[in-house]
């Protein structure tokens, strides 16, 4: 038991990346605090594996590395937050509680191939989204953009984070974001695809 957010909570500690992956395969957790520097398997590999298995448990990356590029990469790979050592314990508690609240919000429902935020349903397999009973075809890039926003409602992305999440690059072209935003707006106002 550990005092956390004004209450006491159970916690499980993994001594290595391999053990962390085994625990995540066997049990469910409210959130994960992931150190990038671990024995046998680093935190990056753990993060990639967890997200590839469609496990959406909130993950806070903890690292002594403070480079912006490293933070952008972790967020692009699916981390929910990134905190640099040394940090104040109360800050980690506040970030963890915020991520738990966000993950339990009924606003976004996530399955392996579909996201739903309020009245919008994004179908990842068929590259379509539905709104008010109408269906629209989208490209893979447009789908990735929508997925990024729908998976973290209320989160404000930097352009760097968004470009890393969608295009998997550390350098972004500001025109690309504007172009794809316009594509999505036009399709949202246009004629729906026949279901």
CATH code: domain of residue 76: 3.40.50.2300
The residue with greater pLDDT, 142 or 69, is 142
Tell how far CA 187 is from the center of its chain: 25
Same domain, 35 and 98: yes
Q: Are strands 134-137 and 128-131 parallel, antiparallel or unpaired?
A: antiparallel
Same domain, 84 and 122: no
Interatomic CA distance for residues 7 and 16, integer angstroms: 27
Same domain, 31 and 7: yes
Same domain, 33 and 50: yes
Domain presence at residue 86: yes
- Per the structure, the count of domains in the chain is 2
Q: Determine the angle formed by the axes of helices 159-167 and 174-189, rounding to 10 degrees.
A: 70
Query: Which segments of the chain are extended strands (E)?
Result: 2-4, 7-9, 32-35, 59-63, 81-84, 108-110, 114-117, 120-123, 128-131, 134-137
In this prediction, residue 194 has a pLDDT band, given cuts at 50, 70 and 90, of very low
Domain boundary among 78, 104, 130: 104
Residues 58 and 102: beta-carbon distance below 8 Å: yes
Same domain, 123 and 150: yes
Same domain, 36 and 95: yes
Same domain, 85 and 118: no
Domain boundary among 85, 104, 123: 104
pLDDT per position as a tens digit, 115-162:
887 778 888 888 898 887 788 888 888 888 888 888 777 777 877 778
- Strands of the 81-84 sheet, one edge to the other: 32-35, 59-63, 81-84
Domain boundary among 60, 85, 104: 104
Residues 62 and 35: beta-carbon distance below 8 Å: yes
Domain presence at residue 34: yes
Domain presence at residue 194: no
Full residue range of the structural domain in which residue 21 is found: 2-104
Interatomic CA distance for residues 9 and 23, integer angstroms: 17
In this prediction, residue 34 has a pLDDT band, given cuts at 50, 70 and 90, of very high
Domain presence at residue 116: yes
Q: Are strands 108-110 and 114-117 parallel, antiparallel or unpaired?
A: antiparallel
164: domain CATH number is 1.10.10.10
The residue with greater pLDDT, 89 or 166, is 89
Angle at 140 between CA 138 and CA 146, to 5 degrees: 70
Give me the pLDDT at residue 109, please. Answer: 61
pTM of the predicted model as reported, rounded to 2 decimal places? 0.53
């Amino acid at each position: 038991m550990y005092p956390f957010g004004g209450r006491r909570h159970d916690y499980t500690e993994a001594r290595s990346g391999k053990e962390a992956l085994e625990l995540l395969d066997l049990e469910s957790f409210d959130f994960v605090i992931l150190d990038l520097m671990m024995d046998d398997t680093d935190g990056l590999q753990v993060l990639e594996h967890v997200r590839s298995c469609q496990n959406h448990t909130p993950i806070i990356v903890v690292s002594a590395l403070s480079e912006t590029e490293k933070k952008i990469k972790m967020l692009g790979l699916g981390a929910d937050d990134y905190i640099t050592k040394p940090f104040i314990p109360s800050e980690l508690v506040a970030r963890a509680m915020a991520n738990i609240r966000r993950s339990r919000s009924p606003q976004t429902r996530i399955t392996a191939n579909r996201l739903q935020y309020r009245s919008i349903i994004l179908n990842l397999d068929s590259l379509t989204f539905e709104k008010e009973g109408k269906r629209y075809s989208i490209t893979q890039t447009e789908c990735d953009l929508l997925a990024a926003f729908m998976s973290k409602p209320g989160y404000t992305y930097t352009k760097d984070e968004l470009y890393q999440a969608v295009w998997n690059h550390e350098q972004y072209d500001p025109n690309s974001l504007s172009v794809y935003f316009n594509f999505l707006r036009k399709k949202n106002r246009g004629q729906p695809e026949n279901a």
